[in-house]
A and B are shown apart, each in its own frame.
Chain A
Amino acid sequence: MPPDSGIDSEKMDTIIGNLLRTGVGLAAALVFTGGVIYLFRHGAETPGYAVFRGEPADLRTLTGILHDAQSLRGRGIIQLGLLALIATPIARVAFLACIFARQRDKLYTAVAFIVLALLAYSLFGQ
């Protein structure tokens, strides 16, 4: 395993660590902010989780979530934070794909792209 790509494995580990920490931190900040707005506006209402109804369309799609978050709706901002959270490991896989490609490791570049394809299918293939 020759790490002769101009990026040694220690540096790579540091970048991956920072990437994951930033992603989770950003997600937590968004979820917390949205949570404060949501509780401020709806805190006195009664929760209804006993019966499953499914979320409304605007909290299930990327465009709907972005729209709600832009209008500063608490639930939209929370959902945007959760999207950032889901995107964090995906960004990590994409980063590794670049590293493997720079190392001219064809096998593992392909492996990383297969994983990315599976993740993309989950998010956008519905």
Chain B
Amino acid sequence: MTILEFTAVVATGSFVAGFLGAITGLGGGVVIVPLLTIALGVDIRYAIGASLVSVIATSSGAAAAYVKEGFTNVRIGSFLEIATSAGALAGAYLATRLPVAAIGIIFGIVLLYSAYHALRPLPDLSGSTQPPDRWGTLLNLHGTYPSGQGTVSYSVRAVPLGVSLMAVAGVLSGLLGIGSGAVKVIAMDQAMRIPFKVSTTTSNFMIGVTAAASAGIYLSRGYVDPGLAMPVMLGVASGSILGARFLTRAGTLLLRKIFSAVISILALEMIYNSLAGRF
């Protein structure tokens, strides 16, 4: 295979990954690394470096559209970015220290969890009746969002737990080159009880900063190869822009099931390859 053919294959695969990632809400990052490592035999460090830069492109592109809708809470986002960025720095350092087989196994476990999460959406626990958290008030995190019935106000709870979970999301993002959307949703929806639409848009708002925090380290350690990152970034970004347009129309349950099945197979293959010493 020549570089030209390889680039065409990677760009096509990345486009499909970005498209499906946007439609199912799983993000393109979770499939791009297994695709590159298992299907194309790329070293996992190059794959993670390329995936990480594509994550910045998709989240920034989507955030540009979301922020105007008025759901994004920039205070919550800015505050939690401290935890995710610090976590991402730690994750990127871990990535340069851990053996690649360990990274492969952790990646497989996170993939399995993402597949499970996609099939079993968590209950919406948010509500305006809950007592506001002392930290939430102190940090001025409570907010409002627009709805059909006028402006709805909400308060935030369990801030320390949310911060801890965000740090974990940051570590996984820096270690695996993914957006860690699934963990961020647990922190914001389930622990902090932030309304669904606010937590998804604010989580997306933060993903670019989180990924940028580890991307600097990846770049200076030589993990970001321009020849590989080019088709991955352009493919995932254009795929997810197109996917976001389909989002409102497509019936996604069947698609989620298919995507989850594909991710589960990739996860098991990554774990098996890691244990067999093929990475």
**Given contact pairs A38-B227, A60-B220, A61-B220, A14 touches B234 in the complex (Cβ within 8 A):** no
Residues A89 and B208 in contact in the complex (CB < 8 Å), given A44-B3, A111-B82, A122-B92: yes
Number of interface residues of B (CB under 8 A): 64
**Contact B226–A38 (Cβ < 8 Å):** yes
| Complex alpha-carbon distance, A100 and B78, angstroms | 11
User: Which residues of chain A have C-beta atoms less than 8 A from B75's C-beta?
Assistant: 1, 108
Q: How many A residues, CB 8 Å from partner?
A: 66
A115 is contacted by which of B40, B78, B224, B230 (Cβ under 8 Å)? B78
Give the A-B contact count at a CB cut-off of 8 A.
Answer: 205
B214 touches A (CB below 8 Å): yes
Is the CB–CB distance between A60 and B85 below 8 Å? no
- Which residues B6-55 have CB closer than 8 A to chain A? 6-7, 36, 40-43, 45-46, 53
Cβ A50 vs Cβ B220 within 8 A = no
Cβ-defined contact, B89 with A118, below 8 A: yes
List of B residues within 8 angstroms of A32 by Cβ: 230, 234
Judged by a CB distance under 8 angstroms, whether B63 is at the interface is yes
Which among B42, B67, B209, B223 is the interface contact of A54 at CB below 8 angstroms? B223
The CA-CA distance from A60 to B215 in the complex, in Å, is 11
Known contacts A39-B7, A88-B60; decide if A82 and B229 are in contact (CB<8 Å). yes
Question: Are A44's CB and B4's CB within 8 A?
Answer: yes
- What residues on A are CB-neighbors of B79 within 8 Å? 108, 111
B57 interfacial contact with A, CB 8 Å = yes
Q: Is A90 a contact of B64 with CB atoms below 8 Å?
A: no
Which 6 residue pairs are nearest across A and B when measured between Cβ atoms?
A54-B222, A122-B216, A43-B4, A89-B208, A78-B226, A55-B222
A-B contact pairs, 22 of them (CB 8 A): A17-B68, A20-B208, A35-B231, A39-B4, A43-B7, A44-B4, A52-B45, A54-B221, A54-B222, A60-B219, A78-B227, A86-B216, A86-B219, A107-B139, A108-B140, A115-B81, A118-B89, A119-B85, A122-B85, A122-B88, A122-B89, A122-B217
Interface residues of A (CB under 8 A from B): 1, 10, 12-14, 16-18, 20-21, 23-24, 27-28, 31-32, 34-35, 38-39, 42-47, 49-52, 54-56, 59-61, 74-76, 78-79, 82-83, 85-90, 92-93, 96, 100, 107-108, 111-112, 114-115, 118-119, 121-124, 126
